Amino acid sequence: MTAKVLPTPRWDRLRRVENFGHSIRTPGFVFQPATEEQVLEVLQRAHKQGARVALRGSGRSYGDAAMASGQWVLDLRRMNRIVAWDPKQGRLTVEPGVTVAQMWPYTLPDGWWPAVVPGTMRPTAGGCAAMNVHGKNNWHAGTWGEHITQVRVLTPTGQVHDLTPQDDAFWAVMGGLGVLGVITRMTLQLKPVASGNLEVRAWATPNLERTLADLDAAKDEYEYVVAWVDGTARGRGLGRGQLHAARHLPAHAEPFPHRTLDPAYQVLPDTFFGVVPKGLLWRFMRPFMHNPGVWLVNTAKYWAARTLGHEKTYRQSLVAFNFLLDYVPQWERAYGPGGLMQYQIFVPHERALQVFADALRWVQKWGVPTYLAVVKRHRPDRFWLSHAVDGFSLAMDFPVRPRRLPALLEVLGYIDRMVLEAGGRFYFAKDATLRPETAWAFLGHETVQRFLDLKRAWDPHDVLQTDLYRRIFGPWPGRKP
Ligand SMILES: Cc1cc2nc3c(=O)[nH]c(=O)nc-3n(C[C@H](O)[C@H](O)[C@H](O)COP(=O)(O)OP(=O)(O)OC[C@H]3O[C@@H](n4cnc5c(N)ncnc54)[C@H](O)[C@@H]3O)c2cc1C
């Protein structure tokens, strides 16, 4: 009998593994399987050797979701084949390492766009599913998982589960933090589009109350809506900012569909203002990355929004609107060697104004103002580990500086409590600080137990673990058995 020969997996490379914000760095043995068989081989080896395995896509999570201190890391980016595409129905079946950047150029010429995309096109399908990501259209389209018609999960015991939304476990796997099993393929239902452009409206808002009220009003008229907030403004200007709302163009409003649906039309420019190579831009940003510098930049941005950018309507490509953060490659490096941390809170509609106002005020008072703040409108969903509410989210970026870190952690702890008390939620893709008792409280103990029961059934030896999983679901003082 001849042994089955598999393409060589890339075994055992000890590497430095980092989060997106470059604020956490740990060594890990990185494996890069190219097939389901190789994935299973690694999982079974790990079980035999008593090792733990963390799954990883593009490593675009801000916190410790894809981190694994000193353990094995299964980097799924080599499983990056597009398995099937049905241009009539808009159904795309992909392996988990296929990135959003691979998807849209494949489907757009046929008039289809992913129904939900995060703010960057670098993430993989597996990473988007495991975090159940949302876009600027969360109110209308829900999350990534709401557009998956089928998903295949390989558990560490070698079982394969083909799940559809009719299966209870489907709602646990989407947003399941990559610890129930390895997603090895999924089918997405895309959205038909008649143009590669969106119609965008931009306007400035003078304070937080208007920012939230306008976001809420715009959600009924537009499919996408997002607010940039000046995190350094105080007093009456607290929470002032700029809104961008957008909608797809109907066929009759697009005279050149073939041109705008062509991926070549969607390409982001290589230079900024036609002069500065984009790859260098983060170096220009770096000298401003301190509190007075960020105040200056935010103030200038707000006044530009109030004057030049106020009440403007224009057409913008799908890529330019959705992946604004990809305009400046490696922008996160501008934060310096300590990197950055992002923290996103979700608060029900009726409490959002007070909670966001206090949060913005408190971080200013503690001397750790947010350097970038973004507000979005959300709707609730039925995923087990959901971050969604009928309300708003506020995402805040902070530089990680050893001297300021204790103050930052302290104030985020206070904000956690305030969010919890307001019936709010948190998002694990953007989290590095949440305490387990806070996470269990917002998720609900019963839901967490149900999730852990499924975890025990599918992964009885607890092979799949990440730093996030251990932080939230590991034993902690006060946890009921
Ligand atoms: C600039 C920027 C903008 C962003 N904007 C948004 C946004 O608008 N909305 C939003 O929701 N998120 C946003 N994010 C967060 C990002 O979309 C998520 O963190 C996403 O999960 C990253 O995907 P990834 O492939 O990099 O996964 P990783 O970060 O590598 O991993 C994420 C999780 O997926 C698990 N995982 C990976 N592959 C698999 C698999 N095959 N099977 C099972 N589990 C797996 C990992 O264990 C981990 O728990 C943004 C991130 C950045 C850097």
- Domain holding 120: CATH number? 3.30.465.10
Determine the atom of ligand 1 nearest the C-alpha atom of 183. 42
61, 120, 244: which to mutate for ligand 1, most atoms within 8 A of CB? 61
CA–centroid distance, residue 429 to ligand 1 (Å) = 6
Amino acid at 394: L
pLDDT at 480: 61
- If you search the block for the tokens 């306007």, which residue do you land on? 203
Question: Are 355 and 261 in a shared domain?
Answer: yes
CATH number (domain holding residue 331): 3.30.70.2520
Question: Are 214 and 334 in a shared domain?
Answer: yes
Alpha helices in 248-339 (DSSP H): 257-260, 263-266, 281-285, 291-306, 318-322
Q: Is residue 93 part of a domain?
A: yes
Question: Are 424 and 383 in a shared domain?
Answer: yes
CA–centroid distance, residue 480 to ligand 1 (Å) = 30
Question: Are 179 and 255 in a shared domain?
Answer: no
Pocket of ligand 1 (CB under 6 A): 20, 54-61, 65-66, 76, 96, 118-120, 123-124, 126-128, 130-131, 133-135, 177-178, 182-183, 325, 429, 466
Task: Give, using CA atoms, the residue closest to atom 39 of ligand 1.
Answer: 126
28 burial type by CB count under 10 A (0-12 exposed, 13-18 middle, 19+ buried): buried
Using the 3D structure, point to which of 192, 217, 237 is the last residue of a domain.
192
Q: How many whole angstroms separate alpha carbon 146 and alpha carbon 171?
A: 9
- Number of domains, the chain: 2
- pLDDT-based confidence at residue 138 (cuts at 50, 70, 90): very high
CA–centroid distance, residue 64 to ligand 1 (Å) = 11
pLDDT digits (tens, 9 = 90+) for 152-177: 999 999 999 999 999 999 999 999 99
Determine the atom of ligand 1 nearest the C-alpha atom of 130. 34
Work out the mean pLDDT of the chain and round it to a whole number. 94
Q: How many other CB atoms sit within 10 Å of the CB of residue 235?
A: 7
Q: Is residue 30 part of a domain?
A: no
Tell me the residue range of the domain where 177 lies.
80-192
CA–centroid distance, residue 132 to ligand 1 (Å) = 8
Question: Are 278 and 395 in a shared domain?
Answer: yes
Question: Are 177 and 226 in a shared domain?
Answer: no
Closest CA to 205 of 305, 346, 353, 348: 305
pLDDT digits (tens, 9 = 90+) for 273-282: 667 778 888 8
Q: How many whole angstroms separate alpha carbon 127 and alpha carbon 35?
A: 17
Q: Is residue 443 part of a domain?
A: no
Using the 3D structure, point to which of 192, 222, 238 is the last residue of a domain.
192
Task: Give, using CA atoms, the residue closest to atom 43 of ligand 1.
Answer: 178
pLDDT at 5: 45
24, 133, 344, 396: which to mutate for ligand 1, most atoms within 8 A of CB? 133
Average pLDDT (14-30) is 91
pLDDT at 1: 41
Check: pTM over 0.75? Answer yes or no: yes
Task: Give, using CA atoms, the residue closest to atom 5 of ligand 1.
Answer: 119
CA–centroid distance, residue 211 to ligand 1 (Å) = 27
Question: Are 428 and 290 in a shared domain?
Answer: yes
